[in-house]
Amino acid sequence: MHNLLFSIFVYQKMTVMTHLTIENKKYVLIPEESYQELQKNAALKHHPEKTFSINEARAHSKKLIRKWATEK
């Protein structure tokens, strides 16, 4: 039997957020616009650990391809 529990909350900027519990696992439902805004903000905060030059990137990718080819 599936247990469903709904609750609706209003938070920042009057966005509706719905909490959903299915089989004791909690999920949050938000409008797509809010989700896209969250993704954008997260992407802007992400900084890659290392940036390669073009030649370094080519050498690195060739190294990985050779590694993966030997694994098969």
pLDDT of residue 23: 87
SS3 16: strand
CA distance 3 to 24: 8
Q: Tell me the pLDDT tens digit for each residue of 6-57.
A: 454 444 455 567 888 888 888 888 888 888 888 998 888 877 778 888 999 9
Q: Is the pTM of this model over 0.75?
A: no
More confident residue, 63 or 27: 63
pLDDT-based confidence at 65, cuts 50/70/90?
Answer: very high
For the chain, the structural domain boundaries read: 4-71
d(CA 6, CA 30): 13
Task: Give the per-residue SS3 of 20-59.
Answer: EEECCEEEEECCHHHHHHHHHHHHHHCCCCCCCCHHHHHH
Q: Which residue has the tokens 């920042």?
A: 12
Here the tokens at position 65 are: 């391809």
